[in-house]
Structure 1
Amino acid sequence: MRTELVGKAFRAEAGALGVAMAGLGEAEWARATRCAPWTVVELLAHVRVAVGRVEAMVAAPEPERAEVTAVGYYRPGERFDAATNSARIALARDTAGGGTDPVGEFERTWRGVADRFETEAEARVVRTRHGDPMLLTDFMVTRVVELAVHGLDLADALGRPAWLTDEASDVLEDLLLTDADGPTVRSALGWDRATLLRKATGRAELDAAEQAEVERAGITWLTLG
């Protein structure tokens, strides 16, 4: 059941991102994002690379057992250090520079990943490029994080309202909140779904009252590159 929900969230958020990116003009593709030094087209390329890693992971030999959860994937360490971030930045820029149809390439990548995920067993284990043996479903949760969080970054860069989907929000609120549910926390603070994700990922500041409420809710702070 959880695998099905994660798959639906992945499809919904990737689809919404693709629709939002369709028809951008040259000046919009070149806009700066908060994920410096990436432009809009480079950030979309990063998301495509991040999503596309699933194909190679599924094709590789399966580890004996999962040892890392979706939360554990975001632990501090070398995966988010300066050298890794520099390589991540360069790869996205190279990928963006080599494409002529960024939306089409993104669409082909995410649809292939979604289709492949749906053919795998719920107990399927994969190894990440950082060496983590994880349930494929847990790794796909991290891909929903990539789509949703960078979707906010792209919306802000383009001056548009967030297109965050309910399906993705449900998955991410389950990841981020350990002692409360998303609707309860959002109601207490007067936040919508996008605001909760912005606040929880450092894309919007918390005041003292908000900090106390999210700490009470058992927020999981993710280390993001």
Structure 2
Amino acid sequence: MNRRSVAGAGSETELPERGPSEVGGSEVGECVGDVDLVRAAFRAECLRLGEVLATLDPTDLARPTGCVPWTVAELLAHVRTGAGRLIDMLAAPAPTGALVDAAGYFGAAKFTLEVDAARIESARAEAGRVESARAEEARIASARAEADRVEEARVGDGRVESGEERFGSEGARRGVGLGEDFDRAWRAALAAVEACPPDRVVRTRHGDAMTVTEFLRTRVVEVGVHGLDLAAALDRPPWLTTAASRVITDLLTAGRRLPAELGWDRLTLITKVTGRTPCSPAEQAALARVGLPLLAFGR
């Protein structure tokens, strides 16, 4: 496994406005290929997304995203599936064969039209499943509240609605199903990772063999970059954590330092290289000069 070094991986939210010669490349310090640092980045980014999910309402979930044709709810379903993918992968026998690293996982050849179409429909189906469960919870909560009102009127004891009942109706209105589902998925995946050696080999949905640490790096990318998509759709500032930004930046730059004339910080680098914001012809030329790998990141 190719390991490249960056500075420490904290979980704070603020992205430092660093000099262009310091974005990407190697620094003396911690190694982003180390499983403990990749785990920390995955955990930090999932925790932050979970905090955001707790603030969403049905209107937020119905918003369109830049990942056409997904709504916020459908994009969240895709992120939840990706965050939990390692659960089944680690339950399967370890494969043999040549290993692919995280950059190889995002190779353009992997994301064919057929694969992309299946990915889109899978997220829509998952979002529909969660929404159906949420709607059923709302129906039950509403029926319970109505029964309570009838009982109060009959007995006349002035009983106050319990905290559990208040949470049931409020949670149903705020789409708590998605948040709980996501929380269960990423925590179960992380627990499965922590229970196995970091060089344990898994088989991806593309058929490649990867170490669990390298595949977990791709999960940091999925949660972090799609978090930028969600922030844009929700008209909120990006919440990308520093830990995740370092893992993602290292993957995108392949350890190379960027030309000084770009003047990018990590957040700018990530949005530009993944296609979230366009690169000018001059920026494209500068990236070509340092030979950044061509990776495919879905919108």
- In the alignment, the residues of structure 2 paired with residue 11 and residue 186 of structure 1 have an alpha-carbon distance, to the nearest angstrom, of 31
RMSD: 1.8
Instruction: Please identify the structure whose Cα radius of gyration is greater.
Output: 2
List per-residue Cα deviations over 1:135-191 (Å, max 9, x = no partner).
11111111111001101100000011101111111111111113534xxx4975333
Which position in structure 2 is the counterpart of 1:174?
A: 250
- Measure how far apart 1:203 and its partner are: 1.0
CA distance in 1 between counterparts of 2:98 and 2:89 reads 14
Distance 1:174 1:17, change over 3 A: same
Aligned residue for 1:134, secondary structure, equals strand
Task: Structure 2 unaligned segments of length 5 or more: list them.
Answer: 1-30, 135-176
Q: CA deviation at 1:69?
A: 1.0
1:92 and 2:123 matched: yes
Deviations 1:48-98 (A, max 9, x none): 111211011000001235521111111222x41222211111111111111
Matched with 1:48 is 80
Change in CA separation of 1:171 and 1:186 when aligned onto 2, cut-off 3 Å: farther
One-letter amino acid matched to 2:46: A
| Identity over aligned pairs, percent | 48
Quickly say closer, same or farther: Cα 1:119–1:66, change in 2 above 3 A.
farther
Shift of 1:26: 1.2
Residues 185-196 of structure 1 correspond to what in structure 2 (within 5 A)? 185=258, 188-196=261-269
Aligned partner of residue 202 in structure 2, secondary structure: strand
Structure 1 partner of 2:65: 33
**Quick one: distance in 2 between partners of 1:219 and 1:20?**
32
CA distance in 2: counterparts of 1:138 and 1:97, whole angstroms: 31
TM-score (norm 1): 0.91
- The CA distance in 1 between the partners of 2:251 and 2:49, in whole Å, is 21
Q: 1:73 aligns with which of 102, 105, 113?
A: 105
Counterpart residue number, 1:129:
205
Aligned partner (choices 231, 240, 253) of residue 164 of structure 1: 240
> Between Structure 1 and Structure 2, how many residues are aligned?
221
Q: Supply the distance in 2 between the matched residues of 1:35 and 1:207 (Cα, whole angstroms).
A: 21
Match of 1:222 in 2: 295
| Structure 1 residues not aligned, in runs of 5+ | none
Which is further off, 64-73 or 140-149? 64-73
- TM-score (norm. length: structure 2): 0.70
CA separation in 1, counterparts of 2:195 and 2:292?
A: 33
1:95-124 per-residue CA deviation (whole Å, 9 max, x = no partner) reads 111112101110111111112111210210
Distance, in Å, in 2 between the alignment partners of 1:166 and 1:189 is 20
Conserved? CA contact 1:57–1:127, under 8 Å: yes
How many angstroms apart in 2 are the aligned matches of 1:87 and 1:210? Answer: 33
Say if 2:183 is the partner of 1:151: no
Whose RCO is larger (CA < 8 A, sep 6+)? 2
- How far has the Cα of 1:15 moved from its partner? 1.1
Counterparts of 1:34 and 1:201, CA distance in 2? 13
1:18 matched residue in structure 2: 50
* Residue number in structure 2 paired with 1:139: 215
